[in-house]
Structure 1
């Protein structure tokens, strides 16, 4: 984990939130020492994955992305789309949640959305794509939850647990460069597709609106660990969920844009204990 301790590498200052920062002070030597101690203290709790584990996750997502594209192309053929259209229909798997934020722990699942062009129906996703997954040797524990608030297919892909939701855009093709932050993506979508896209859109906005991503990630890892150890990390049970904790930490980062994680955690509790 790399932390910036010198003023020479401070970013050009700008407002990342709706108000001005509270403090622009750069970190000092004590902040660096405390942040390094924070990292060492968290390691025994399995909050960091090594490079091999991270590479495996990327490999699994690459395979899943190719599988989705293959399915979308095959579906186009079965629906008699012109060959020129089928060759470019695309499709893409987008991640969101803790993995997209870069704060997932060892063994954590991956939240993802399969974004498909307009010729693909939701019923296709829960039928033909479900069947395609069923025939993959690497896929285990496959199950569909169609009646959920956000309908989802849950499975384990080569040892990685994945929660995959679906969104059908009103586009003929889905390019690899598609930016889901663009509001035009939501045009003519049903509510289930909008909900499925919300995770990616919110996560991408959080990543874009924090001054220093590495400092944000380390502080959020610590806050999440603190919340889980105290049994207050669960929106299902009426507490704050992952995205809520991320938003609170992101806001703290906006108010102290040059602070390291150790300072951000201190300010986090100072601010929200008096909010």
Structure 2
């Protein structure tokens, strides 16, 4: 490309999916109307390996490109077709059949084109992983400015766990630090969680499927730390049952039984819980050490397996009558009802620019909070989701522009230390008693449902969820625990002022000392 492509410095090697795309501004509207729908679409496509097996050319415009094999081309075309369906306004001027390719040469005259074409030969095919879709952008008022990565959006509903082998992640030196400090989750631990999730999904599918249900759809989705791909104690999941419109003559016996209960929400919830319990016991009974049902805002099934893997299943049921009522209320929030836990996580992932950097950053901050004793709602501190919001805020505000993929792959100890330093400095000096922390403080409007008290006014630290109805995720905090958390932030700030943080080695040692701070805060119920 450097020799044959005049656009070598203008943009990185890529396979184009949509061009032109939206001129994204850093605003809540673009995140809600463009990035969130895009990410939710990408959740439906698992990462895959693409294979290049040929050098080909477009004779009409004298372009030479690397060509995907047929299977890879079909995968990319399938994804592109769904993107066009989601954003039809981005394909209005597309008069040609979509042909995914990676340009390696563009020529102005026929002679140079033919010479290059004869010399560019691919001796053997090669593969590369496709884990993310990238939005490339440049200043709209400067065509000479190279494109940069505006957003890195992962494929698949569950992010791969961070580890030292993760591609398109961070610099090897930073990965080494995480290994030495034991911040990466053990592969066996993650595999146990994944195995339990897959088994539960399979056993639910045996009962809830297209053959047994025509008037309802179901989903079984992860959220929380497992969805983000970081090491957490539990596998948080949600089982969703949605009523859809169907003709009476296509309703199954199972449909009819559920429809009879739709006007009794408690009865329907209990019935679904009983059915799930039957499926779980029938499939996984010998693997379960402890099982209980909890009645909360949503019904919860809590399972502890013999290998100490813990899974919590929230049950969320939406009937057509309830959906219309919810939508009437949700109109006050300019949005639709979110899937429990899922949209909360997705709004963070589209806010942080680069999920792999966010994964490492959140892992570090959570490890510090747990080590010093400032972690957990049950103790009046902050939940994992609150810590994730704080980390997303810092990533969005302070992460330097990603000039290319190498900016992510070479994200260094120095850059990571800068984020950590900004985290503690920002929140040590934040006026928690007077202000609320929101991902978009300028555009956020305080809203409430009629007759309901403002949820984000509860709690001494107000860390507002980016999802409707914008609850306070720090509602478990009281004045004393808020002050302890602020004290924890300040202690790190003071530590960093007393040690050298000039060289890369200094910053490594500083990060290490942060994680080695003693457990000095009370964590008792």
Q: Within the alignment, does 1:247 sit opposite 2:399 as a pair?
A: no
The correspondence of residues 1-275 of structure 1 with structure 2, limited to 5 A, is: 35-36=174-175, 38-43=177-182, 47-50=184-187, 52-73=188-209, 86=213, 89-105=216-232, 108-118=233-243, 120=258, 121-135=268-282, 136=284, 137-146=286-295, 148-157=296-305, 159=307, 160-170=309-319, 187=327, 197-258=339-400, 260-275=415-430
Q: Output the CA distance in 1 between the equivalents of 2:27 and 2:191.
A: 34
Compute the TM-score of the two structures, normalised by the length of structure 1: 0.68
1:103 counterpart SS class: coil
1:266 and 1:115, CA in 2 relative to 1: closer, same or farther beyond 3 A? same
Is the helix fraction higher in 1 or 2? 1
1:143 counterpart SS class: strand
Q: Output the CA distance in 1 between the equivalents of 2:288 and 2:190.
A: 19
Compute the TM-score of the two structures, normalised by the length of structure 2: 0.38
Q: 1:170–1:187: 8 Å Cα contact kept in structure 2?
A: no
Work out the number of aligned pairs and report it: 226
Shift of 1:94: 0.9
1:207 and 1:151, CA in 2 relative to 1: closer, same or farther beyond 3 A? same
Q: 2:316–2:340: 8 Å Cα contact kept in structure 1?
A: no
Q: 1:16–1:254: 8 Å Cα contact kept in structure 2?
A: no
Shift of 1:266: 1.3
1:152 counterpart SS class: strand
Q: Output the CA distance in 2 between the equivalents of 1:254 and 1:240.
A: 20
Q: Output the CA distance in 2 between the equivalents of 1:84 and 1:188.
A: 32
Structure 1: where are the runs of 5+ without partners?
1-7, 19-30, 74-82, 172-182
Q: 2:399–2:419: 8 Å Cα contact kept in structure 1?
A: no
C-alpha RMSD over aligned residues? 3.7
Tell me which of the two structures has the higher relative contact order, counting C-alpha pairs closer than 8 angstroms and 6 or more residues apart: 1
Q: 2:327–2:337: 8 Å Cα contact kept in structure 1?
A: no
Is the strand fraction higher in 1 or 2? 2
Q: 1:68–1:114: 8 Å Cα contact kept in structure 2?
A: no
Over residues 183-226 of structure 1, what are the superposed CA-to-partner deviations in whole Å (9 max), with x where a residue is unaligned? 99x6489xxxx999331121111112111111111111110011
Structure 2: where are the runs of 5+ without partners?
1-10, 13-22, 29-169, 244-254, 259-267, 330-335, 401-410, 431-525
Q: 2:298–2:316: 8 Å Cα contact kept in structure 1?
A: no
Q: Output the CA distance in 1 between the equivalents of 2:392 and 2:208.
A: 36
- Largest Rg, 1 or 2: 2
Q: Output the CA distance in 1 between the equivalents of 2:172 and 2:239.
A: 42
1:197 counterpart SS class: coil
Shift of 1:130: 1.6
Shift of 1:164: 0.5
1:86 counterpart SS class: coil
Q: Output the CA distance in 2 between the equivalents of 1:195 and 1:238.
A: 28
